[in-house]
Structures are given as structure tokens and as C-alpha cells.
Chains A and B, each alone.
Chain A
Amino acid sequence: MIATAHDFALPDTDGRVHRLSELTATGPVVVVFTCNHCPYALAWHERLADVAHDYGFRGVRTLFVNPNDGERYPSDSLEAMRARVADEGWSVPYLHDEAQDVARAFGARTTPDVFVIDGEMRIRYRGAPDQDYEDPAANALWLREALDDVLSGVELRRPETTPVGCSIKWKP
């Protein structure tokens, strides 16, 4: 059974609000729960940014969402998110899930935790970007395959994998 994604509207580091249902109206959306301080999220970051670039030309939008408690983990504060976006010249919106409601609604467990949502707001893929955070050549293959399948309108080869990363830092 394919789950329906929870709609959300979250601000990015510039305060611009991104609403999921508005984005899926024009094509698939990749939602990546990620953060600043997790080595797994950092190890996979470039690969995920490459997917956002490569599939952007095919109508896929990508959102990075930071759900971590920025008070207990200051490197995940909004200020730190802004600094990272500026320092690294991100082109992907970095959304702040301050209340952690979106991460909870998606059942996100780790950073990173990747979801592909199709134009009908259905969650078509959930899991890790690829099989090995340590190997850049893995190239986010699982995510790329999922997007290829969604864009082709065929059954997904691998609709779910186990997310691998740091536990989300929930507020007490």
C-alpha cells in the first residue's frame, strides 16, 4: 500500500515558505531530512545535491529539511543553517522544521532519510540514497532509480530501503 504524504509548509533559510502540495502539482518532489552535524548527512550531501541538479531539468524539485533540535545541537540552529547555505552556495532550499511536526508526520528516523513524493502526493520511495555512504561512486543510485521509475510511470524497482544515519535529535 502506498502512503499519502503529509502536506506541509515550511520556511527556508531566507524565510520563503515552500508548500509540498504546490510543488507536487508540477512534478515529483524529493524530501530529504538532513542536518549540519551528522557525518552520514555530510557524506551523502554532495550526491544528493547532484541528484537535485540532474533531475531538476526533468521537473523534479528537491527540498532539504532540517528537523533537529537546534537548541541542544547549536550546529543545527537556523543561524547555522543559514551560514552553511551561504558558505556552500546551496541551490536547494534548506527548510527549518522547528516544531519537528513534518519529520514526525513522515516518520523520519535519521539524517539523512529520503522520500520521493509523486504528483499525487503519494510516497513512492523511502530510505537511503544508496548502499554506501562511504563510496561517492554509489552516486545515490537508489534514489536515482526511484526517480527514473516515477518519471517513467512504472512500478518502482525498490520502493523502500533502510535509512542509514544519525538519529533525529528530538526535543525533550
Chain B
Amino acid sequence: MLTAMRPRIELLWWQGCPSTERTLADLRAALVDLGLDPDAIEVREMATEQQAVDERFPGSPTIRIGGVDPFPADDMPGLTCRIYRRADGRPSPTPDPARLREALAQAVAA
């Protein structure tokens, strides 16, 4: 396993959405799959509307890989829950695990 993780992986969350735990588990699993350190994820809570604006936080959960959201959203920043889509189009509170792994693999390869 690589001890130094490249790139920087962030998980931004808000307490109003119960999706953080599952997202973190999916993210950790994807990192392990890729031979990366699952404990190197930076987990940060968004607690205020101002913080959401300052961080350009479009909702919970938001993942950033090297500062880039692999699932870009047009939503205005705010304390809300994000809507992701599964491969078959179904709405979901969390990113599709396969797509998340793919995005991480691309970032690592870059």
C-alpha cells in the first residue's frame, strides 16, 4: 500500500444528510482497491451557510480529488443533500461506487 497518497482526497459533509458514513465506506473501499491509504482522506464538516459558500460546497456529500469534484454539480452552494445518479439513472444520496473508483483511478494515473 502506498503510504503517501496522491492526490489529496477530501470528503465534505453536512450533518443534515445521513449519507456520510456510506460515502466514506465506499471511498475507503475504492482507495484500498487501488492500493492507496484509506486513512488519508480528509473529512471536513460544513456547519454554516457561510462556510458552504466559502468552500463552494454544493451539498452533502461532496468528494474532491486533487481539489476537483469528480461529479461536478451546477447547484448553488448551501447546506443541503446532493442528488447523485446510479448508472441506471436512479437517484441516490451517494455517488455510484463504480464511478467513484473509476474517477480515483483516473486521478491516480494522471
Given A165-B18, A166-B17, A167-B16: A73 touches B80 (CB 8 Å cut-off): yes
Given A39-B81, A39-B83, A73-B80: A166 touches B16 (CB 8 Å cut-off): yes
| Distance from A33 Cβ to chain B, minimum over Cβ atoms (Å) | 15
* Residues of chain A whose beta carbon lies under 8 Å from any beta carbon of chain B: 37-40, 42-43, 73, 133-134, 136, 164-167
Contact A39 B18 (CB under 8 A): no
* Other-chain residue from B15, B16, B82, B92 in contact with A43 (beta carbon distance below 8 A): B92
A38 nearest in chain B by CB position: B81
Residues of B within 8 A of A167 (CB): 15-17
* Residues of chain B whose beta carbon lies under 8 Å from any beta carbon of chain A: 15-19, 80-84, 90-93
Give Cα A133 to B93, complex, Å.
9
Residues of A within 8 A of B84 (CB): 39
Give Cα A73 to B80, complex, Å.
9
Given A164-B18, A167-B16: A43 touches B80 (CB 8 Å cut-off): no
Contact B17 A43 (CB under 8 A): no
Give Cα A55 to B9, complex, Å.
47
Residues of B within 8 A of A166 (CB): 16-17, 80-81
Residues of A within 8 A of B93 (CB): 39-40, 43, 133
Given A73-B80, A166-B81: A39 touches B16 (CB 8 Å cut-off): no
| Distance from B35 Cβ to chain A, minimum over Cβ atoms (Å) | 27
| Distance from A100 Cβ to chain B, minimum over Cβ atoms (Å) | 16
Contact A42 B18 (CB under 8 A): no
Contact B17 A42 (CB under 8 A): no
A-B contact list, 18 entries, CB within 8 Å: A37-B80, A37-B81, A39-B19, A39-B81, A39-B82, A39-B83, A39-B84, A39-B91, A39-B93, A40-B18, A40-B81, A42-B83, A42-B91, A43-B90, A43-B91, A133-B93, A165-B18, A166-B16
